[in-house]
Amino acid sequence: MLPKTRDKRSGIVTLITDFGLQAEYAGAMKGAVLTVNPRCQIVDITHQIPPQDRLRASFVLQNSYAYYPEGTVHLVVVDPGVGTDRRPLILEKRGHFFVGPDNGVFTGVLSFPGKCRGYEITRQEFFRKPLSSTFHGRDLFAPVAGHLSLGVPPSKFGLPILDYKRIEWPQPKIENKRWVSQILWADPFGNLIINISRNAHGPRLAEERWVIRGHGWKIENLSETYGDVEPGRPLALFGSSGWLELAVNQNRAQEVLKLKPGDPLFIQFKK
């Protein structure tokens, strides 16, 4: 018998996966949620995480979950270790619930202040039968998310745990009078996201003189908006996610600046 104890939920389940849109995987997972809770409101945050990119999934989750009502269930399935001994996990933090593999996809959420409760998912009566060894998104995580959206307390799914897998976030390095940073990825507009945060590094960039140079271009100050420079000109600003971006007004920085994710980026400070 499944437990009857319920508490308040928003009735919303969000989805972040690396499934893409060309196969049945995302749709099958939604069906597994709806089989448990036909009244559930499912929201696709994205199914376009690069395959197995747990760091990108963590970034997308930390920048999106707080815009949903408390009581929302956030289902994240970027799971290169599916079928292995990695733990299935429920987290409860800041009034939200997170479901997915304990493989680092929740690193960003775990980094925020606030108390966190975690539970390893072990109660198999919540799973679909038979349980596929290669599609836990459909047969394990989706049904659990459906039950959570109905108000089943996280403690009903398994025993509490205190340790969680985290992914190391790339940090900029200081060499002489420059920062050696890294381009993390490009957004759909071709803007390049850099591992320089507004909270940690914004004050210094705002107060000191510096330059970023490339082949035939340079940037020497922070902008507030993409339109602060002439069309076709490069700029640097802190985007809505709070991380430094390189952009080109009305064009794609990734192509114009000839930079790509994984490339180093040097910020040289002037005297």
148 and 183 inside one domain: no
Give the structural domain span for 20: 12-161
129 and 65 inside one domain: yes
**Mean pLDDT for the chain overall:** 94
CATH code for the domain of 42: 3.40.50.10790
| E strands present in 187-251 | 192-197, 210-214, 217-219, 234-238, 243-248
205 and 232 inside one domain: yes
Nearest C-alpha neighbor of 83 from the set 140, 15, 20, 24: 140
Structure tokens at 157: 């799914």
- Averaged pLDDT for residues 114-140: 96
Confidence of residue 175 (pLDDT cuts 50, 70, 90): confident
Residue 182: is its pLDDT beyond 90?
yes
102 and 144 inside one domain: yes
Which residues are paired to 220 by β-bridges?
A: none
144 and 248 inside one domain: no
The C-alpha atoms of residue 155 and residue 158 are separated, in whole angstroms, by 6
Residue 4: is its pLDDT beyond 60?
no
In a domain, 4, yes or no: no
pLDDT digits (tens, 9 = 90+) for 55-104: 999 999 999 999 999 999 999 999 999 989 999 999 999 999 999 999 99
The C-alpha atoms of residue 214 and residue 45 are separated, in whole angstroms, by 34
The count of domains in the chain is 2
pLDDT digits (tens, 9 = 90+) for 8-47: 788 999 999 999 999 999 999 999 999 999 999 999 999 9
Residue 228 has a pLDDT of 96
134 and 187 inside one domain: no
pLDDT digits (tens, 9 = 90+) for 204-248: 999 999 999 999 999 999 999 999 999 999 999 999 999 999 999
Confidence of residue 5 (pLDDT cuts 50, 70, 90): very low
Pairing of strands 178-186, 173-175: antiparallel
In a domain, 199, yes or no: yes
In a domain, 225, yes or no: yes
Q: Is the Cα torsion angle 131, 133, 139, 145 positive or negative in sign?
A: positive
